[in-house]
């Protein structure tokens, strides 16, 4: 009988808030070790014979390639399932998809529009489920982001990370991860586009336990003042296209440009989860400038996700 039908307890990765600080640090350290091992000549086949089913409702360069190559690096196999092949929650129920895939693969990664689909997959699957993105959060991105900050600065506790722009799913994961790791997270977003009260309250509770802090403002300069890290994302995410013109009129003061960067620390790191709409939320000058770690950050999706896969599927 294969491992995913055994009595071994199943663990999922739905969000950073669900991890203990100890578990989160264990993944960061494993990501560091697996990256060093890869750069030194290659990873051991820690997931030899294991398979990952990847459900995509939303397209993605980084999520697909990083998960597929992560499995390959550690000796496993990844299977891409396009939106048309499943029709998750439409042509076939979430519960049935979870039950069927549990008979075929050792783990499921899903990139979806609606967070309830992630919760449903986790509820009904007998194999680990990994949240590759939902409208609520983006925990794999958050893990890679904090791995990148740790790699660059050598520590996380006491780091000030300022997120400016739309307080979206990425911001939620940065808040929850920062709350677990003792990071001071500031959110600078226009009125009406800030953090949802329930998310803010949970992040503040997590930060109170770790010695970090959470602060929200509608002033982008206030958010980035003296920050160690400035983070931004697109102003209009997939599924929000009808709001594009409205958002384009509201968000320009939150553009990460040379003026905004100058208000942070002289050695500030600038981050973006990509894809970037250059000339909107970030300028070419900053994205390609000396403060940018955008592509190191993208690379680290691969290694952070290797750590998740090795732990959950191994």
Q: From CA 59, how far away is CA 83, in angstroms rounded? A: 9
| Contact in structure between 162 and 186 (CB atoms under 8 Å) | yes
Q: Encoding tokens for residue 155?
A: 């520590």
CB atoms within 10 A of CB 257: 16
18 is catalytic: no
Catalytic residue chosen out of the listed positions 62, 73, 111, 247:
111
141 is catalytic: yes
288 is catalytic: no
4 is catalytic: no
Catalytic residue chosen out of the listed positions 273, 297, 303, 305:
273
186 is catalytic: no
240 is catalytic: no
- CA 172 to the chain's CA centroid: 9
CA 71-74-79 angle, to 5 degrees, is 20
Q: Encoding tokens for residue 313?
A: 């599927």
| Contact in structure between 140 and 308 (CB atoms under 8 Å) | yes
Give bridge partners of residue 217 from the DSSP assignment. 188
Catalytic residue chosen out of the listed positions 62, 233, 247, 280:
233
Catalytic residue chosen out of the listed positions 12, 62, 117, 141:
141
Q: From CA 97, how far away is CA 101, in angstroms rounded? A: 6
Catalytic residue chosen out of the listed positions 4, 62, 117, 138:
138
Residues recognised as catalytic: 111, 138, 141, 233, 273, 301
């Amino acid at each position: 009988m294969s491992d995913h039908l055994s009595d071994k307890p199943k663990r999922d990765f739905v969000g950073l808030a669900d991890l203990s600080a100890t578990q989160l640090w264990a993944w960061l350290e494993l990501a560091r070790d697996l990256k060093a091992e890869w750069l030194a000549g290659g990873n051991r086949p820690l997931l030899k014979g294991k398979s990952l089913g990847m459900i995509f409702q939303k397209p993605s360069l980084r999520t697909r390639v990083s998960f597929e190559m992560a499995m390959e690096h550690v000796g496993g196999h990844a299977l891409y399932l396009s939106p048309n092949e499943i029709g998750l929650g439409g042509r076939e129920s979430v519960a049935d998809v979870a039950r069927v895939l549990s008979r075929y693969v050792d783990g499921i990664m899903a990139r979806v529009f609606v967070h309830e689909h992630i919760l449903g997959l986790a509820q009904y699957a007998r194999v680990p489920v990994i949240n590759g993105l939902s409208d609520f959060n983006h925990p794999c991105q958050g893990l890679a982001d904090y791995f990148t900050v740790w790699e660059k600065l050598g520590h996380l506790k006491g780091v000030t990370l300022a997120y400016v722009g739309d307080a979206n799913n990425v911001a939620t994961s940065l808040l929850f991860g920062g709350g677990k790791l003792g990071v001071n997270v500031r959110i600078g977003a226009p009125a009406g586009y800030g953090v949802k009260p329930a998310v803010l309250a949970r992040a503040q509770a997590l930060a109170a336990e770790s010695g970090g802090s959470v602060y929200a403002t509608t002033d982008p300069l206030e958010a980035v003042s003296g920050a160690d890290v400035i983070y931004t994302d697109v102003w209009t995410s997939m599924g929000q296209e009808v709001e594009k013109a409205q958002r384009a009129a509201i968000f320009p003061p939150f553009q990460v440009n040379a003026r905004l960067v100058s208000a942070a620390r002289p050695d500030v790191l600038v981050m973006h989860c990509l894809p970037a709409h250059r000339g909107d939320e970030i300028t070419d000058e900053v994205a390609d400038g000396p403060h940018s770690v955008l592509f190191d950050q993208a690379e680290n999706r691969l290694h952070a996700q290797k750590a998740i896969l090795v732990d959950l599927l191994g």
